[in-house]
Chains A and B, each alone.
Chain A
């Protein structure tokens, strides 16, 4: 099969790639294709786990803050609501998009496309959904948010007692599981199962 490197346009004759193997461009080192063992099945399983963890992470407070007996708790969206109230709609929207909406969309699109593909069917508007997934991915920044939590907790440590909540662990696990889902996905395999239209 003839393919062109996405980063430098060099043409390659790509033979059959073994499961688990990676093909790279011989000129610029760009990724041509990475085949995964049971890629679609593993991605579906991890995406389902991510959906459960996402629900837990958002349903419960992830930090409690105790200052002289006054306790505040925060969930992922409380900060967004407070920013909104403080007349910072742009930042509120950016934080909501990158820490809640993009991961939610990412998990939903993975399941929307891969569950039917796994069952041998082509979901409605599959190309559009799969394209959207690629565009959403860079905006899903949960791991960056986790580092933000770490910095914030350290800053507050002198002021009051900060107690991590259950959902913080779900959140950390979610990052690992979703990263695993994205890395076990071989987009070429999904497109090939879709086949050539028209």
Chain B
């Protein structure tokens, strides 16, 4: 491409991450001090985006297995104790004919976290390889990951509400278990991972290939 620069970075204009003001910086600067309007530090791209996102994705993947294998709660009713994993909770809902809710819990707790991890790894690898394949679709994929992550909290909230409602001493109690801690870690880590990824890196690869 020739003529006027097409991107902010090529024009030595960086967008403030907080107030979105386009700020002119000296050409070749690694980082300019601060945004003149809101005072936030200015960067051409989120600093250390790939490294941070990789680290968070790996940490979340490590927590994903215990989150699904360990019980998230134990129900004690009339002396009988029964532990539930996330999957056995889904199966319970299915057996009782509540398949729409079973679907909600399955999608939110099992499918969404793994989908997020797969998409983020795919984006990280495609950026590393400077892929030119469908940047607009990959950007859209990134926006989806950002938007759906919060829904994985559903099961943590279910456990909390059950714990609060069922504490009737001898009759029944529900206790949270360590699987819930790992599960909470997966949600938090994947949310921060999506936030640390910079989608502009997707387009940088395309531009370098064009230049």
Contacts and interface: CB of A to CB of B under 8 A. Distances in A.
Interface stretch (B54-62, B122-130, B151-159): B151-159
A88 interface: yes
A9 B203 contact: yes
B8 A9 contact: yes
Interface residues of A, number: 63
- Size category of the B interface is 35 or more
Given A138-B195, A151-B105, A127 B38 contact: yes
B98 A191 contact: no
A159 interface: yes
Given A4-B22, A127-B39, A197-B39, A148 B181 contact: no
A84 to B, nearest CB: 10
Contact of B181 (A9, A80, A88): A88
B161 A9 contact: no
Contact of A141 (B150, B163, B165, B195): B150
B191 A151 contact: no
Contacts of A152: 157-158, 161-162, 165
Interface of B: 5-9, 11, 13-15, 18-22, 36-40, 77, 89, 92-93, 96, 98, 101, 104-105, 108, 135-136, 139-140, 142-143, 146, 149-151, 153-168, 171-172, 175-176, 180-181, 184-185, 187-188, 191, 195, 199-200, 202-204
